[in-house]
Structure formats: C-alpha cells, structure tokens
Structure 1
C-alpha cells in the first residue's frame, strides 16, 4: 500500500518530546495546521499521484513465466494523473487545511462545540448542534464511467490520508484527525444506508481510536443518526468528506434528496469540505434541487472524461504502460501500429488502457516475444474487443451520435438515439446536453 505523506511532526510523536517553547507555539498556532503538509507544486503533485503497476528491474525480468504473469496483473493499478487531477489534488490539500483553520482543536470554543454535539445526541435534537463559523466548501466532480476518475479519488485520498490518526498531547490526551474520509453512495440511494456506510467507514478507519468506535453508539437510534454522523466527523476532525459513486442507477430523486439535504446541513454544522463524485446524469438532476447544488459546487465543478486519443497525454500514458514489459527493452516512443490499436480498442478509457497493456504484456510472456510484433498485437486486439464488449457498444453508440450530429449541423433540436439511457453514465455533460438530456 502506498505510504501516506510524511508530516512535519510524526502523528505518533507526543508534544512532550519538544521543548516547552516549541510546544506553546504549536498549540497556539493550531497543531493540526502545524503537522499537515502545505499545498504541493504541480510537479510534486504529479509525482505523488503517479503509480507504476510494475517496476521493471533486472530481478523482475529474470522471473519465471508464471511469476511474471502474476506480477503483470498489477498493471491495472497503474496511474498517471492529468493536469486537471494534479490541480485538484493540490486544491484538496488546501481544503483540508481550510477546514482545520476554522477552529483550533484545543481552544475553549472547540471544547464547547463538542459538548453541544453531545447534548444534541442525548436530546435527539439537531437544533442543539453548533453551527460552524464558516460553511464547508463543496467540490463536485463528474466522472464519466471508466474514465479513471474513481482511481484518481482512490489515489488522492490515499496520499492525503484516509484513516484517523492521533496527535498525542501527553500520556492520556490526544487530538484525533482524519484528513479525508471516503463514504460510498448507497446502491439504494437512501439516507439510512448512507449513514450506515459512514459508520462502517468510521469503524474501519479509526484504527486504535477505540473511544470513537463506541462513543454515542448506545443512543444512536434512527432519529439521532444524522446528528451522530455529523458529530463523529466533527470530533474526529475530518478534513474532507468524499461522497463517491452516485450514478443514474443509484440516484433516486425522491429518496436521494434526503442525502443531499443532509450533506448541506453537514457542511453548515461542521465546516467540513465535501467532495461529491457522480456521473453527468446525476448532476443534471442535482441542478434542479435548489441550494444544495450551489453548496456542492462553490469550491469547484469539474469533469473527468475519457482521454483524447490524439493528445500528448494519451501517448505518454501508452509509453509508460508499454515500458512495463518484462520481455522487451525500453522504448523511447510507442510504435505507430500499437498506438493506433490501443486507441481503437480503448477509445480513451484509462481503465481499459491499463487492461489492454496488461493483456499485451501477459501475451508477450506466454509467446516469449521480444517485441510487440504485428501478430502479437492483432491477437491481443481480437481478444480485447471481445472482452470489452460493453465498452465497444458505448463507443459505437457515441460514434453514431456524433455522425448524426454532424449531419444535422445547423438544424434545431437534439439528436435522439435508441438505448441512450442505457449508456448515460458513460456520457460527458456536453454530450448529454447535446442529446437534450432525455436520451
């Protein structure tokens, strides 16, 4: 597992181990801001996010065929961040720090704030919860299916810190902090299940924080669960709450509205930033749901799409994947035939691109190939197209749509095709709008 970022002061280091003067300065200046990294440069963000599925070394090249195949399956974990993702990663560092900057965890005000949460839970009255000095920032990220967007969320939260840590103050007292918490959107689209997902993530990420696994649990009845969830996030000093995975099949306007209303109130009460990750059809419904949309987009509204197969980034990613071979030497550029085959098979889907090169490299091991020959590529393409039947159908649908759109250039009205709703999570917002939303 990738290591989380090094801190200025180790999260396992007690403040007792620094001088009295330094300790006073840290406590006065907000200890969480003192220990957490500041915004990286674009180059640093690119390096942090990059992950190579297979490290090619003299040792890995000398493995047996079976061992090589086992190792090459790790290519699916390969990740190269786009410039947009690098910028978002930097913004998320800022978002964590901004959340923590709103109140010093050791201040009398924060102690009173925690008491208010406790009182609200005991009384089952959400109105007793405190209100943050400043509402949490909202970020909405639309991710086209198979674009690699969810892999980006996995990488950035892994680096920022995705479990609870503690900063010991002395032998008995500590400050908990949880830079990023990832809660998956429930398949049923209900608030009850979202709250259950939250508690499951909290228990799983609390580590040695046994106190936080049981606090308020005895009184966490259904009516108090929203208060309980809000309070736990505040008490654990969550920096960003990522809500991931809302799609056309899991978003139900009537039921899911309750989750969105909860998130808006959560941001108001805690001051914690929220990153909402969904597909374009979900966003299209969200736009018409009142103030929650503006709350979830006041920090940023971005979209991660399939790659442009003519772009420099697409070529660079192909080259990085090509050079994870355990059979042939390093290439300086991707052979034209291979690049064309990868583009025609994957259509710019990063998930598919990883799979394509995994299949290529495994086929090379089995054939004992010393270069990506035309015959080797043709065999991989045939098998891959069959394996990714859904992706090929989506690409065919989009190709037909754009052809008809070109034919209708200058004419009024959207182009409508049968089965459009089947593929809507694979569509960018621009394409969805061109189809008139209702496909």
Structure 2
C-alpha cells in the first residue's frame, strides 16, 4: 500500500492544537512532524489549515443486529458513523437474541467482519440468570459488561439484589450501567395514565422517566462499585443532580492511576432540553429522558471541568412509523452517529469547550477507559483512524441521512463544521460528500 501524507494540518491531540503534517501507510500512522516532504509515489493531501483529529470512538450504540434489522443493521449504521467522523463503535447487547453468553458475542463479531466501515466491539450483557457466563468473560473479547439497572428490552433487567451484588463483585471487565429505577418509573407512569389515559403528552416524558429515578439507581450502582472496588462507568447522565456523585478531575490522574467510577453523557443532552418536545415530540423521546435547560447547562459545564469523562451518542434508531405512534407506544431512542461530532463541535463554536476537550471526551477517554489497543490518538504506530474537519456551515436535510431509519432529530439544524474526510485503518471511508471504497473496519483489540 502506498503511503499518504497530510500536510498543513492543524493537529488536535492530547490537549494540544498545533500545526503539522502526518504520514500514514499500511493502516498505521508512521510519522508526525512539520515540514515533511513527499516521497515518490506518495499521495499528498493539503489540509490547508483544517483540523485533523483522531477518529471518534463511540462507546454506546444500538445497531439493532441481530433481530431488528428492519430498522438498523451493522453495515448501514457503521456507514453513517464514518460519515460523521466516528471510526470505532461499541455496540449494546439488547438485541434479539440478547448478547448474554460467549456464543452470542462471537456471533456478532462474525456478523461485523467484512461489513462494517468502522471498527467494532460488542458488549456482553447481564441478566438475572447468566452469572456463570459473566464470570467466564474473556477480558480481551469485549469492552465491558452492560448492566441495565432499569427497564430494557428482553431478559436484561437485573433486579435481583443478590445477583446484582455478585455481578459487581465478580465481573472481570468494566461494568457499564443504565441507571433508572424501574419501580419509581412505573409508579409515576401509573399516575400519568390515571390522569391522561392513553393520551399522555410527550412533554411529560421527563417527569415519568424522572430525575428521582435516575438518582436512586445511580446511587445504588455507585454503592455496589464502592463496596467491591468495581470499575464502573455510568452511561448517559441526564441530570444536574447526579453530577455531584462523580469525582471531578482527569480520567487518568497525575500518578498514572485511573478513576474507578466514571460518567458519560450523550450529545443529545447537550443540544436539546424540555422546550424541544413541543417541536420534535417523540423524535427526541429517549431513556433516560432529555430534561430541563438547567440540566443541559450543567452537563456541558461538567464536560468542561472533567466531572463527565466521556461523550457518546446512545445511537438508537427507530422507524418514523414507530415514532408516529402515541406516546405510550412510541419507542425511545434517536439516530445520532452521523451528526454527533458536528453537534459536539458546536460547543466549540459556542465557546463552551475546546476542540481538544471534544477529542478527549470522544476519542482519548473511551480508548483509555476500555483499554482499546492502538487507537484514539494521533500517535506514531497507532491506527490511522483520522477525521478532517472543515469549518464550512451546512444544514442537515432528511435526504442526507444515511441511517436505515431515514431521519434525524437534527433535520433543519445548521452546523458550523462538517466532516471533510474520514479514514479508517488508513483507508478513505468518507470523502466529505459520499462513502468511498469497501468496508475497512476491524475488530477492536483490548489491551488487558
């Protein structure tokens, strides 16, 4: 394979922004410097001062395969991901059948091989009755174990206290949790059903999937992790109230140690708030719910001050027909991978974060937390997963959406940065306007 040299770039990596050049060949970054000269036969790309980032690593997606391919699948959703600058993803286990044992996990890797444009990893899931499978997890086979401490699809709600305690005690990989207390949600839902019958307004969703339900469940997860010294990662923080439960400071401390308990939020919690239900209705119905403007502001501040460690998508597509149902029948989840990095970069344009902070939350930190080998950074010897950013405004149109569901909650939104190019393992996957070439995604390796 001939090498490629990107010159005159604004590289963003490990807290720095600097002018430089980057060379890659055979899927790996081979040289980073300034004033690099082209070699015979080398492809040269003039970045013309545009920002060059490591590819984003999304630690939370639902690509729906196997079992729900009518609304999404690995091939199509990974294509949408690379169009959005996301070069690696970690997919959730609540598929059909759920990923509750080694055979189901390896089946997903087989499905992904040769079909995914982005690199891929798959979580194992916990249930009330697969403790033996949890204890037998190969730490190199999965980024972590997903524990639903709130309602989920299939047999994946872990509500047996003894089982939950054993999971936190015995799991050999990081535990990631969806924290909402189901009894609290069900009691509140019954109150709204008594008031509205079958015609509950979607504006009530953040009251039904309440902050109290989030806080109660998050406190339980943290107490279990502290009791057993578990590496715990709490997903999709949606309330200001939960932020005080987490340690402020960098994921990797000055002494080289890593936080034991970490927090993640998602791009939609930084762009939407309660007033948006009037405009978007069920299209922004998700679990946990998008809540108040004060929550959104606090979450953005927590990204900036390192109380929240990771930014992700929780990409969870549904068809428009499903979303058009009345509130009680409309499923929760949004398609997000294609425009997530654009949305995150809006925080840079608004002066809330730096580009380096976005890269830390969306690329470096997922690689560090899940021990991803050789990705997530602009480093010599690392995979050439790269994203070139062009600060040219564009407006999202439905016809531009690549996800199988065919819609985006960002339709009509004007973003101030676009994805000019995405490379996965040194192979151009997105040229700024179209998908390019064949899928080049690889199985993620976990350095444990």
- Normalising by structure 1, we get a TM-score of 0.25
Greater helix content = 1
Query: Considering only CA atoms, is the larger Rg found in Structure 1 or Structure 2?
Result: 1
Greater strand content = 2
